[in-house]
Structure 1
Amino acid sequence: MTTAVSASSGLVGGTFAPSLFLGGVLGAGFHNVVADSLQVLVEQHPELSAYPIVQGISGLPAFAMVGAASVLAALFRAPLTASLLLFECTRNYDVILPLMASAA
């Protein structure tokens, strides 16, 4: 929907901006699903709370950024460009490896 509106309006952005938006929304949605699933899992099995993976996951912005990189890399077939572009937006060295892994 956003791609059709952006491409038909003739404004700046074309398919680039909607792909970043769609990837960010999908990444944020995936974060919510994973966080809720882990919470339910720990409530059902309290002994799992000792494991570090269950204690917490990365924040929502990290998931949104990784989602945006993966959608951008898939649509434009440029994984390195997508990874480096989103890294340049944040300058966060902690997220460069997940960006490259998701874009590959």
Structure 2
Amino acid sequence: MASGLSWLDSSRDDQNRMRELLKLFSDAESRDELGVGQVRDAFSDLLFPGTSVLQTRARYLLIVPWCYQEAQRRGLRGERLAAQVDGNERKVIAALLRGDDTEGVIGTTGSSRR
């Protein structure tokens, strides 16, 4: 059975008040009346970094670790590993830029664009 809401209004003011009340239920705003949101966010960022940020490019969560795994699989260490990872990341960036969706590709702004 579907739920519903109805009311009787006797004046234009009553009708406007009820519309404003219903509008409150559709607002997506969140409030932090006690002010604990900042503390919660600080602990969240400390314990689970990056999870409070909207990830628009989730593919990087897989690609960057893959670059490290690939360099480590080749037995590289230290500076050679870092150079290999950097090279792999740049190849990935170049491949992503050849695609259709290039907006927001990491590594394409500032001096890192090559």
TM-score range, shorter chain: 0.3 to 0.5
Whose Rg is larger? 2
- Name the TM-score, length of structure 2 as normaliser: 0.31
